Amino acid sequence: MIRSARDAGCSLVVARSIATSWSSATFTGARHDLLLAGPATEALDAWLSSLPEAEIALRGHLVADVSVTSVQREPDGAVVRIEALTLVEA
């Protein structure tokens, strides 16, 4: 996720990352709750708007779903919450 942001010109850091195991009848993976922080820029806005459709490379996994659940803009930057579902590739 950070690599995708960096490639889009955003300088973000992971403030919090929580992963919870997930499985269905046919897939295994994890649900991720990420809190990212960095400068509030036009590049950040563009990256966030493109994120739900982005192809995000993650070795050994497929990013099946990603959504931006909140964006808090503060005088010194932005805090972004992202939820994602990753599946283990067979």
Digit-coded pLDDT (tens) for 18-38: 999 999 999 999 999 999 999
Model confidence at 90: pLDDT above 80: no
Type of residue numbered 41:
T
Give the per-residue pLDDT at 24. 95
Residue 8: give the domain boundaries: 2-88
The CA distances from residue 55 to 19, 28, 52, 75, 79, in Å, are: 20, 19, 9, 31, 22
H/E stretch holding 48: helix 42-50
Model confidence at 1: pLDDT above 90: no
Find tokens 């959504």 and name the residue: 67
DSSP, res 23: E
In angstroms, the CA 61 to CA 89 distance is: 5
Question: What domain count does the chain have?
Answer: 1
At 46, which CATH number?
A: 3.30.70
Segment 41-87, tens digit of pLDDT: 999 999 999 998 888 888 999 999 999 999 999 889 999 999 999 99
